């Protein structure tokens, strides 16, 4: 999640929480609802460039997937806390990888779509950006 998405998520949580707070009866309103979000310095981020790749070709897509895979592994190793061999560590790595790939796949699809648009029409309405993978620390 990028910083903009993080802010959007926080705003959505705040609006939803505020609505729930207003709908709650006075008897259930004993304690205020507190919404917290990770600080920007608590977010681990990796940016994966694809400026040098032809994503209209399968080889470029494979290279991008490899780069993203390396970034996901690096990001999750930092987020989970290094290298271990225990089952909890492995479980956390699998969960982290799943979450990171869930954020990366739509960005990869958009980058590939942009490359195909440009290959077929010479232009695209989609912005060219790097793949950004982020998770709370």
HEC states along 76-127?
HHHHHCCCCCCHHHHHHHHHHHHHHHHHHHHHHHHHHHHHHHHHHHCCCCCC
What distance in Å separates the CA atoms of residue 33 and residue 10, rounded to the nearest whole number? 14
pLDDT in tens, 28-76: 334 445 444 444 457 889 999 998 999 999 999 999 999 999 999 999 9
Better-scored residue on pLDDT, 116 or 36: 116
Cross-strand bridge partners of residue 132: 47
Residue 51: CA atoms inside 13 Å, Cβ hemisphere, count? Answer: 4
Tens digits of residue pLDDT in 79-112:
888 777 788 888 999 999 999 999 999 999 999 9
Q: State residue 133's pLDDT score.
A: 85
Q: Which strand (E) or helix (H) includes residue 68?
A: helix 58-80
**Residue 137 has what pLDDT?**
63
| pLDDT in the model for residue 98 | 93
pLDDT of residue 132: 87
Collapsed DSSP state (helix, strand, coil) of residue 65: helix
Q: What is the pLDDT of residue 33?
A: 53
Read off the pLDDT of each residue in 19-24 and give the average, rounded to a whole number: 39
């Amino acid at each position: 999640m990028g910083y903009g998405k993080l802010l959007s998520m926080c705003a959505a949580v705040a609006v939803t929480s505020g609505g729930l707070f207003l709908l709650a009866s006075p008897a259930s309103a004993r304690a205020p609802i507190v919404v917290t979000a990770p600080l920007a310095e608590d977010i681990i981020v990796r940016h994966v460039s694809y400026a040098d790749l032809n994503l209209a070709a399968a080889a470029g897509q494979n290279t991008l997937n490899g780069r993203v895979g390396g970034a996901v592994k690096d990001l999750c190793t930092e987020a989970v806390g290094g290298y271990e061999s225990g089952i909890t560590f492995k479980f956390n790595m699998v969960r982290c990888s799943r979450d990171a790939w869930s954020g990366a796949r739509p960005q990869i699809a958009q980058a590939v779509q942009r490359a195909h648009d440009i290959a077929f029409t010479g232009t695209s309405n989609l912005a060219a950006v790097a793949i950004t993978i982020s998770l709370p620390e």
